[in-house]
Amino acid sequence: MQLSVVLPTYNERDNIVPLIERIRASLANVSHEVLVVDDASPDGTADAVEERFRDQPEVRVLRRRADERGLRTAIQEGLDQSMGEAVLWMDCDLSMPPEKIPELYAALAASDVAIGSRYVAGGRDAREDVPLHRACSRLLNVFAQAVLGSAVLDYTSGFVCARRRVVQEVRLAGDYGEYCIDFLHRARKLGFRIVEVPYTNTARASGESKTATSAVGLVRRGVVYGAAIVRLALTH
Ligand SMILES: Nc1nc2c(ncn2[C@@H]2O[C@H](COP(=O)(O)OP(=O)(O)O)[C@@H](O)[C@H]2O)c(=O)[nH]1
Ligand SMILES: [Mg+2]
């Protein structure tokens, strides 16, 4: 199998089925599996997937216990249980276009990690509904470049395609979205080649952001991410 798509979900019932349909249509020419890693979403995300894709063995749901909740551990568990020669993970809120996946996968021919990037030429963060998230993300990436170097422009991408060998060597670390900064920096330090594929990040289609729903929550996350950047600079 060429590609495993790992989809971490918490309350994405209205987004996950159209997302998987679009992923599968985009990957008509790539052998793949789709692994939804759901943390006991109360809105019935896992049930919606099982009902819709019952007849498609390429689509699986890993149901984790409610007390296992966490974005980084969910992605890691999906990676651990996946079988593709390459892996990809992304948000499940329809903010990242699955039609970009073939381009990310193809980019692995000349790289080890290919990320969807909002900050490389041609990319854009068009989340008009959450200007504070947008500003915070921009600021964190400017800070990350100043501290860790500008080899990567979208350290908090979260739209990541990688060769299996990379995720075998670089286990995800951290609590939430800072895992991505950590993963990209350590992968680069190990000599893996990272390329950025421009894409436009749009508003989540339905449901609530899990990163933060208030300015205070967002700043709290920002501080954690900032601390992770400084710690990385000191240790790697
Ligand atoms: N399994 C799992 N998925 C999560 C958790 N928190 C967030 N997610 C998923 O991670 C992705 C990113 O979250 P999202 O709310 O889009 O964050 P934002 O884009 O920063 O606002 C989405 O697909 C979420 O459903 C969690 O605790 N467990
Ligand atoms: Mg999102």
125 lines ligand 1 (CB under 6 A): no
* Among protein residues, the one whose CA lies closest to atom 6 of ligand 1: 71
User: What is the structure's pLDDT at 48?
Assistant: 98
Which residues sit with Cβ closer than 5 angstroms to ligand 2, an ion?
Answer: 91, 93, 95
162 lines ligand 1 (CB under 6 A): no
pLDDT band at 85 (very low <50, low <70, confident <90, very high): very high
* CA of 76, nearest ligand number: 1
pLDDT, one tens digit per residue, over 110-162 is: 999 999 999 999 999 999 889 999 999 999 999 999 999 999 999 999 999 99
Q: Is the pTM of this model over 0.95?
A: yes
Q: Which domains does the chain have, with CATH numbers?
A: 3-235 (3.90.550.10)
Please tell me the distance from the alpha carbon of residue 86 to that of residue 114, in angstroms, as a whole number.
Answer: 11
Whether 76 and 158 have beta carbons less than 8 Å apart is answered as no
User: What is the structure's pLDDT at 67?
Assistant: 85
Over 90: is that where the pLDDT of 66 sits? no
Q: What mean pLDDT is predicted for residues 87-99?
A: 98
Q: Could you give the strand order of the β-sheet that contains 86-89, starting from the edge strand earlier in sequence? A: 59-63, 32-38, 3-9, 86-89, 160-163, 113-117, 194-198
Over 90: is that where the pLDDT of 68 sits? no
Question: Given the DSSP bridges, would you call strands 113-117 and 160-163 parallel, antiparallel or unpaired?
Answer: antiparallel
63 lines ligand 1 (CB under 6 A): no
pLDDT, one tens digit per residue, over 181-208 is: 999 999 999 999 999 999 999 999 999 9
183 lines ligand 1 (CB under 6 A): no
pLDDT, one tens digit per residue, over 25-49 is: 999 999 999 999 999 999 999 999 9
